[in-house]
Structure 1
Amino acid sequence: MSKAIAGFSKLSKKEKIAWITDTYFSDPNQATALIEKYWNNDTKLQQLHDEFIENTISNFYLPLGIAPNFTINNKNYTLPMAIEESSVVAAASKSAKFWATRGGFKATVLDTEKIGQVHFIFKGDSSKLESFFETIKSKLIAETDSITANMQKRGGGIRTIELRDKTSELANYYQLHATFETVDSMGANFINSCLEQFAKTLKSEATTYPEFNEQEQNIQVVMSILSNYVPNCVVRAEVSCPVSDLNEDKDITPEEFAEQFITAIKIAEIEPFRAVTHNKGIMNGIDAVVLATGNDFRAVEAGVHAYAAKEGTYASLSHAEVKDGAFRFWIDVPLALGTVGGLTSLHPLVKFSLELLGKPSAKELMQIVAVAGLAQNFAALRSLTTTGIQQGHMKMHLMNILNQLEATETEKQKAVKHFEKNTVSYAAANEFVEGLRKVNA
């Protein structure tokens, strides 16, 4: 059993590594060598990475892949995708190529509203609190002027602020519910700074409000924090074409394909067990681009899944229909993204990814990311309703299996050729590689 350590954060990087490897590893030298192997040779760049978070000891790499040939609103894009899962980049690329000859993807930002809340406890007359709020509402906003000045110059700032009575759900619980426009920044720090100033003004003004008794003057602020649920920061991505143009698969007619595809969507609309996996596939595309562009994929995930359950049951984010002979497939997805601030100006590969995308605005990035999710979903459903998901996925996963088996380059080449016409599995790959080695023994 390992010993606890006091003052770990105050140790140097070398001391942290020494403690970790001596405490947890049977071969400290080997563990140290692995940690150091993933350091960047550029000392300045490594220091930059070390300072992103606390207690850093090394770097944890993910592949940065490229999905070309995306036509979005009649403009061509090549998408950066940071992800470790096999077949995601290939699937996105395949969808991009399919739809490029059918008019491409269309994307529209429906709104860009962000939300933040001051959560507080007020023990007293709610009608007096409502009057108090109306009295100080303008001051709440005015006292954030120093915080909002630069954002206002860029066209953003505070949109609205309202008092919400939540006492029917929790005794004495109220909110200041505010909405914001943060333009090209994700805006978390901006929003939280505004909220904390709201809280200070709320508390200080309450102490001198003549209508409050002593208890009512003592407003207890529990917390001031933005929400990652952004149901009004939404982008729509869609594709459409005549049903007759869905003619890529020789084993199924375009009409049969459309029917199967729409049925698969309808199942995900009513069956939560299917919807979770369905939406996870969408997030394969979304997260990969969000991560590559230095945005907070955890915040995006939380907000998207909450949005998928907004009607009370978790359901599909995407939808499809055939109307007047035309097939239409679309997604509405909440995305709070930024192209300035945070990692976007610090991480070299994030800057690379944003330049690859043509240095998009936050709205443009929302459109690109939504399209990535829709493309991924189309590829998955296309496979599921025709050949099955495993055929393509396992062929892409083959290289991972061969690396696990420590196959040589020659063995890899022969295995790839062999499995072009044979079913991929770990057992089958292992048997094939062992057979090669017996022959060459």
Structure 2
Amino acid sequence: MGAISLTDRKNAAISRGVGMTTQIYAERAENAEIWDKDGRRYIDFAAGIAVLNTGHRHPRVIEAVKAQLDRFTHTCHQVVPYENYVQLAERLNDATPGDFAKKTIFVTTGAEAVENAVKIARSATGRSAVIAFGGGFHGRTFMGMALTGKVIPYKVGFGAMPGDVFHVPFPIELHGVSIEQSIAAVNKLFAADVDPKRVAAIIIEPVQGEGGFYPAPAALMRALRDLCDLHGILLIADEVQTGFARTGKMFAMDHHDVAPDLMTMAKSLAGGFPLAAVTGRAEIMDAPAPGGLGGTYGGSPIGIAAAHAVLDVIEEEQLCERADQLGGRLKQRLEALRDSVPEIVDIRGPGFMNAVEFNDRTTKLPSADFANRVRLAALERGLILLICGLHGNVIRFLAPITIQDSVFSEALDILETSILAVSGGH
């Protein structure tokens, strides 16, 4: 009897509900490269789903974590607090958009940050309803699932969702949904389904993540801010995937001329260590009573130490500017393929939060098959890619912003070769 493969062991030991994009088992990683257990090298254009803007094992992050390990690893901040938690809150209060006093809490995951933002909004307003957008993704906890605007795979089979959650269409010109239609849908909700005086918050990703990397138009964000101000509703920006230099600015909301009342953050905040945050207007953040917010692992000393290093690296290595440069090169390379690849229908995204969308060349309908074949062709050549979008026809690019120029050039060559190979073979 032969040895059991690692994949067979995984299938026998782990719930099938934990899906896997690849069958690569990581052995080590550095910046934008991963080596598997067989020693094969891959270029990582997934970055743990936008977690590693500063790359795998950035020396500054590792140094900060090692130093913290030598001091203490856990006390629970609600029991025995520590200064670097306070200091990181001060830094986020200063860094996030909005010229007003702010406060911050730390938790562990993006979903947990969203849950807490809703709790805070409900506590501050005395209202219960929340409005979210179709195609949005806000986590896998029950409130996160309810807010998420995609059924498969996130909601299917999990029963009733929490109530008082309403969805409106996200404006996507490519798919025939205008800003005016989205705002009209909100007003229709107010007329037909929920009194605006019962709405605590509207939550939006400034660039939809799982939904397909569609940027929210500036006019939409201004209209939402006006609607919120008119009705006493709080605006929550979910920056879990968009934050920390990914879009060419520290936060995607920095591209807009309005500020949210609350902002959720996670993923790249701590460079690979679990940490999430909610930052918002001080008076709103203070609405819950003492003990109403928190969590045993919330604001882990290890994650906090890593996050301080991440903020330093973003500033010192000018990663916002680098994101713009890398994204420009990527989009230029993809644009050059348009004439020879009729399946390409859109290339988009601010900074280095970019995507390419594919339709079938004959039916002109979204083609998940084409996108997946490109992903697999690239994987065979050593490039890890991720798919997103309601129709599964979008490839998103989330390489570390610290990727070396030579590795980036190599990845672009693989990407081009893979797209041309799939398109040429139809």
What interval of TM-score do these two structures reach, taking the shorter chain for normalisation? under 0.3
Larger of the two Rg values belongs to structure: 1
Q: Which has the higher helix share?
A: 1
TM-score, structure 2 normalization = 0.25
Scaled by the length of structure 1, the TM-score of the pair is 0.24
